[in-house]
Structure 1
Amino acid sequence: MISVNILMEVDDWAELLEHAIDETYYACDVEVNGTTFYNVGIRPKGNTSLTAIANDPNTDRYSFKLEFDHYTEGGNCFGLDKLILNNQYADATNMKEAIVYDMYQYLDTDASLYNYAKVSVNGEYWGVYLALEAVEESFLLRNYGTNTGELYKPEGMGMGGGRKKENITVPNERGFQEDTKEGSEPVQIERKEMTPPASFDENMPPAPEKNGENNAFDFMPKNGMQNGAPPSMGGSGADLRYTDDDLNSYETIWEGAVTDSGEKDHKTVIQALKQIDSGEHPDSCMDVENLLKYMAVHTFSVNLDSLSGNMAHNYYLYESEGVLNILPWDYNLAFGGMSVGKTSSASETIHFPIDTPFSGTTFFDGLLEDETYRAVYHKYLKQLAKEYVSNGRFDTVYYRIRSQIDSLVETDPTAFYSYEEYDAGAEMLKKTVALRAESITGQLEGTIPSTKEGQSESENLLFDTSDIDLKTMGEFQMGEGAGDNFSMETRKRPNTQNGRSTEDMGSHAAENLRNAACYLIFLLAVLAGILRFRRKRL
């Protein structure tokens, strides 16, 4: 657990909240575990959740991005250039993301460091958040030891996510950063040599010792509408499908550039996608080992707000010397928290098929179809089901988290859910993870079908999941069937901070108006994506 105290002028803080949808940076000072960092950039962040909260008069609980190098060249927080504070929107358990990132850590996958943060504003408790290492320069340096690769964050929903590269800095022996001047020799550091900030590992279970081994349901058609659900939002390259050699066909990828990439870099990405599409020698253009680990954790977690569903976003694409890698992001809607067109069923989540897990992309098809790679992928799934869950790692993490945040959730002044709802959601998550591991074990052993088609033909082989209520863990609905619950199904606590009275803001009329506005925004985003995709094709 870390403590984060945001120090700002009261008027600036109020203005930041009032205009959160603009995602404008403001200057502040930040105390992290008692150490003060000056002149830090802060802004609200998010996609659909940002819009939903901005249109909700009952809450100002935004996620935030802290940029320690936004105003101060080389600024950092114990070696991190950026820190994300996630509000855990639509997650009554307050721990879905933490559990998923711990799974990534367990398999030694390239993924962000994480810990919980007690967030205060000018010394007043604001809420318990999940602190995440941003996937930017310091992340690349820690994981790859160099900044020569290119990083992209495609947003298939047309909501941006990239930024231009700023001055690059590298950690010195004290854990702080020194400038790398333009034209100077790049600093060469071996992969993962950078020591993670101690505060991110504090009180969290240690990484497992290695044992010597190598370490959406697509009920919608690929095009068109079904059950009121939108078509795939992977146009202009976000779904990582190779279509042709035209740079404009992958515009969404380039728009999400995090590093300062150019036309030559973009052609390298297209060439890699073309090679992947051919199915020949995937090891020459894919970081196969890391991707197989990513696939295992991502499939276990059943996050349909991603390439597993029809949302081509919530991932980072990293390219280095023509080799592509996927880096994970955004798991607050994991374990059935995202439903498109209808409420997710417990059975669909628990028995999510391990051999047909990606309906929003063909990027992983070659790995799944290759017997050797599929066997390694299955081995990682077995590690998660047998070692991580059945052998006690999950229980250790679960109870450690609860000991850290229970009291903070109970007194959280901006919480989306009551303590009772959190407690029920957390217990339901514990049951869900255990049953998910049981289903994966059955799919690996052949007693449960491991493909969508096989499960459809042999539903009698799926064990009963009637004890699981996904809504108890929090749910976000989009499309027909969402109705008044489009934004988020929860009973929010009134927010009276900053002098805002909300006693008369929760009327039925206001609720309907807000949800209608959110739904309209979503439909407009879909329409804009479709029109842009069609223009590129003409």
Structure 2
Amino acid sequence: MISNKFVYSIMAGLIALFLIVLMVLPNLGVEAKNDEFSYETKLFNEKKVTTVDIEINEEDWADILKNPNKEEYKEASVTINGERIGNVAVRTKGNSSLMSVANSDSNRYSLKIDFDHYDNTQSFYGLKKLNLNNNFSDTTQMKEYVSYEMMESMGLATPDHSYMNVTVNGEDYGLMLGVEAVDETFLAKNYGSNDGFLYKPDGTGSDLKYISSDIDDYSGLNPKTNESNLDQSNILDMIDVINNGGDIEEYIDVDNMLRYFATTTALVSMDSYQGMMKHNYYLYEEDGKFSIIPWDYNMAFGGFSMGGMGDMGDRPMPEGMENMDMSKLMEGGEMQLPEGQELPEGIKGGNMLDAMTNEEIMTDEAINFDIYNPVQSTTLEDRPLLNALLENEEYLAKYEKYLEEVSTKYFTEENVSKITREVSATILTYVKADPSKFTTTEQFLAGVSGENSLAAFAGARSESILKQLSGELVIDSKSAEEDPQVDHNTEPKESPPIQSTQDDSGQSEKSEGMKPPEGFDPENMPEGMDLPEGFDPSKMPDGMGQGQMGDSGENVDPVSSMKSLALTLGSLLILLLAIFGVKKFNRRGFR
């Protein structure tokens, strides 16, 4: 006869095996995640230049160059560091940069490579789309790179980026900055899930001013995920609250937003939500709350409307152009403006290329850009997301703290000099050989070191920020005079104590608790059976298979989550069979 002791020993062994497998699953998920997103190391290597060779039908390439504003995909194959991927799509990309290059004698367009355009199962080690940016309006070719480095340092989810040397049909095309697309893959990697709502605002409603309760009235919000389920998004509630009052923490990741605006303000990047174009940012809604994702910094360091764009200064765009999509201003290679309107002085004639590449970054306007009224050619009232944050004393104090942090730790002359020198050591040979670069090698080197370098700008800008924080420097802002609500600079102020250490509030949160599988009750174990010594059911992973953060701090992507879920269910089935077997033996009275 089979004794109870023997049966219980077998059952205990099966349960122990189940628990061991269950506890190992998070590590299996991490391995799957690392494989799923291995493009981070396969493609975006900041220590060397990646080679990207595009092969495309000559007629298709000629059509792209002849009709760049169509942004029409053409089939091609791409070889990256010797590894060939066929059946991919290539097109031009851009907004004002595309318009300007199209209206010049240059063919140096930014490009987008879509690996899954024709085959939705295809990717490059998990990456579905790659942007190749031409560094337009940036004589240093490093503004966007340095800006993303600052964003990463401040704990923001930031696209991967590195330099790439591009050829087309064997001919040198140019040195580009490769930038990861913000899409479902980016979301899964950085947030552990891509189930939320992603928006790329640009156009009507991108200022986030309240228009109505009808989502159709916000045509410029541009949803990128879950387009068919927008009625489940909190986007209209968020817009209502920031404009009309309410608990904004219910709808906004305040810490994320403050880090973003502090860093963008330090960088003086006004081709953004804070400028007249009110674009170049993403909003991602996860579990009802919105965070902001940085995007497009080739006109940072005061390059937009501060020495760039024909030195427009604080002058707004001509009446009738404020809400226009810049890419729509080009038709047939000519600028199409509203009737009776002209471009500002310096960019007349429709060719902005010369104006945008003849820049001077060490201007008083850029260096002493007002941190308390950090908008240009607009008002805080017309940028309600930023206004709602800065008019709150608690949030303002935290914004000041992050400004102090970025100015003393990251956006310093020493740190930026280190970054630009490392970049120069990596790409200088390619810069010299680049046949299509907009500016000269000498201008690139001037951005690396010297009195007009990015490092010199960072040093002067950070010094100005710290003086503004202390009240030593007060900016007499023209925009503040026009907007009576903005009164931060009417007199010197005493800043609150500033913490020099960074807290964890902006980092990805780890799970607070860990739960056993649904239906598993350790209190009702069969008589004579005990859980393994040291096992604590309260420390089992919470929401296994939901793409959440585990104790490892790594994101578990949706694919590995499904594998983990399958293993979990299989192990749970073994456990249930074991318990069923014990009860059956007990009923039959085996001794």
TM-score, normalised to structure 2's length? 0.61
Mark the CA change 1:91 to 1:266 in structure 2 (over 3 Å): closer, same or farther.
Answer: farther
Report if aligned partners of 2:301, 2:366 keep a CA contact under 8 Å in 1. Answer: yes
Mark the CA change 1:293 to 1:453 in structure 2 (over 3 Å): closer, same or farther.
Answer: same
Report if aligned partners of 1:104, 1:111 keep a CA contact under 8 Å in 2. Answer: yes
Alignment of 1:465-484 (within 5 A): none
Q: Which amino acid aligns with 1:26?
A: K
Paired position in structure 1 for 2:84: 36
Paired position in structure 2 for 1:265: 231
Partners of 1:454 and 1:363 in 2: CA distance? 17
Paired position in structure 1 for 2:207: 239
Partners of 1:303 and 1:451 in 2: CA distance? 20
Q: Is residue 51 from structure 1 mapped to residue 68 from structure 2 by the alignment? A: no
Alignment of 1:11-90 (within 5 A): 11-56=59-104, 58-90=105-137
Query: Comparing 38-47 with 312-321, which one deviates more in the overlay?
Result: 312-321
Partners of 2:58 and 2:310 in 1: CA distance? 42
Deviation at 1:455, TM superposition (A): 9.0
Q: Which amino acid aligns with 2:166?
A: V
C-alpha deviations, 1:240-269, integer Å up to 9, x for none? 11233132331221xx22123236437621
SS of equivalent to 1:239? coil
Structure 2, unaligned runs of 5 or more:
1-48, 314-361, 482-486, 493-591
Q: Is residue 251 from structure 1 mapped to residue 268 from structure 2 by the alignment? A: no
Partners of 2:218 and 2:411 in 1: CA distance? 39
Paired position in structure 2 for 1:281: 247
Paired position in structure 2 for 1:443: 468
Alignment of 1:508-523 (within 5 A): none
SS of equivalent to 1:6? strand
Deviation at 1:352, TM superposition (A): 0.8
Partners of 2:232 and 2:296 in 1: CA distance? 25
Deviation at 1:452, TM superposition (A): 2.6
SS of equivalent to 2:150? helix
Report if aligned partners of 2:413, 2:458 keep a CA contact under 8 Å in 1. Answer: no
Structure 1, unaligned runs of 5 or more:
157-235, 462-538
Alignment of 1:37-436 (within 5 A): 37-56=85-104, 58-156=105-203, 236-253=204-221, 256-262=222-228, 264-265=230-231, 268-339=234-305, 342-344=311-313, 346-358=363-375, 359=379, 361-390=383-412, 392-427=414-449, 428=452, 429-436=454-461
Report if aligned partners of 2:143, 2:299 keep a CA contact under 8 Å in 1. Answer: yes
Q: Which amino acid aligns with 2:477?
A: K
Q: Which runs of 4+ in 1 moved over 6 A?
A: 453-461
Deviation at 1:342, TM superposition (A): 4.4
SS of equivalent to 1:286? coil
Deviation at 1:421, TM superposition (A): 2.5
Deviation at 1:69, TM superposition (A): 0.7
C-alpha deviations, 1:320-370, integer Å up to 9, x for none? 232122211111111121126844481111011112113351112222122
Partners of 1:294 and 1:305 in 2: CA distance? 14
Q: Which amino acid aligns with 2:206?
A: A
Mark the CA change 1:51 to 1:264 in structure 2 (over 3 Å): closer, same or farther.
Answer: closer
Partners of 2:312 and 2:210 in 1: CA distance? 32
Partners of 1:243 and 1:19 in 2: CA distance? 36
Partners of 2:271 and 2:406 in 1: CA distance? 21
Q: CA RMSD in A?
A: 2.5
Partners of 2:256 and 2:50 in 1: CA distance? 29
Mark the CA change 1:147 to 1:390 in structure 2 (over 3 Å): closer, same or farther.
Answer: closer
Mark the CA change 1:346 to 1:5 in structure 2 (over 3 Å): closer, same or farther.
Answer: same
Deviation at 1:426, TM superposition (A): 4.2
Higher-Rg structure is 2
Report if aligned partners of 1:53, 1:61 keep a CA contact under 8 Å in 2. Answer: yes
Q: Which amino acid aligns with 1:11?
A: E
Report if aligned partners of 1:45, 1:63 keep a CA contact under 8 Å in 2. Answer: yes
C-alpha deviations, 1:149-200, integer Å up to 9, x for none? 11121222xxxxxxxxxxxxxxxxxxxxxxxxxxxxxxxxxxxxxxxxxxxx
Mark the CA change 1:451 to 1:52 in structure 2 (over 3 Å): closer, same or farther.
Answer: same
